[in-house]
Structure 1
Amino acid sequence: MKLAEALTARADLQRRIEQLRARITANARFQEGEEPAEDAAALLGEAEEALGQLRDLIRRINRTNARLALGADGTMTDALAARDVLRLQHSLLADAAAAASGTNSGMRQMRSELRQIAALPVAELRAAADGVAQELRELDNSIQQANWTHDLEE
């Protein structure tokens, strides 16, 4: 199994567990004289089994990520950490540029309103955000390529 397939399987298991949670809570109580639509105890057992599978799969993914070298980016774990930080950095720069640019571009609606001035250089922030976005795309491409070319460890 390739790493990308394991990641898809992990997402599927997580969705399944959330569905089971909803079904369990919907059937955990029922009115006297009625029967629940599903057996909550059986659903709980099914959820426990899925949780065990998820735990084992996550362990294998984490082992693979810790050992998988991505060249200059270090291990896959290092690259994932860098990607998370780049996403935050991009968001921070884009939000700062948007806030500094304002909604009415510094124009006053009425003469009595005070003119607002940007405290940050909007063009520089947007250029920096674009640079971070490019770096993020390149790193994400490396991660995706590794996901599809490396096998999951046992």
Structure 2
Amino acid sequence: MFREGGASEEEIIALETCYNITLPNDYREFLHKFGFVAWFGDYVCGLVEENARLSKSCNVYRKTDYYRDFYNRAEFQSVPTDGVIINQYDGGGYYFLFSQESERAGEVGLFLTETYGQEVSKFNTFIDYLSFLINDTPDPESVDVDYDKIMDIIED
């Protein structure tokens, strides 16, 4: 399932303006072409029509705002501000797409609840992330987790 006709340039600019970011070109093209996608229980968030069936689960605004609120606690690492949430991780966590302003422009990171919001793996591009969802390749790259920080949280 996807949005017939994709998202308009005005809607994409509004998303960028809302979060004060510039989206990577490959995600912008995805939004233009599809708006969002959903299939067999998985999805990639994007710009969904307001009254569409999947407007709650696949809306990039809703996901980004939800996870920023959820992780806004002392024990969790905050959600980065230089990008948007493009999917949730069913084990607890989210996939974050870094904006063009970030040192990590265009990368997609997986941040887990069980690591108190720390990143555990990444994809180099949004296209790599999509390919992984569809073809199960390439594998994500591991990211160093600060286990001492986790132990400090648990011990407190």
TM range (shorter): under 0.3
> 1 or 2 for the larger relative contact order (CA 8 Å, sep ≥6)?
1
Higher strand share: 2
- TM (norm. structure 2) is 0.21
- TM (norm. structure 1) is 0.21
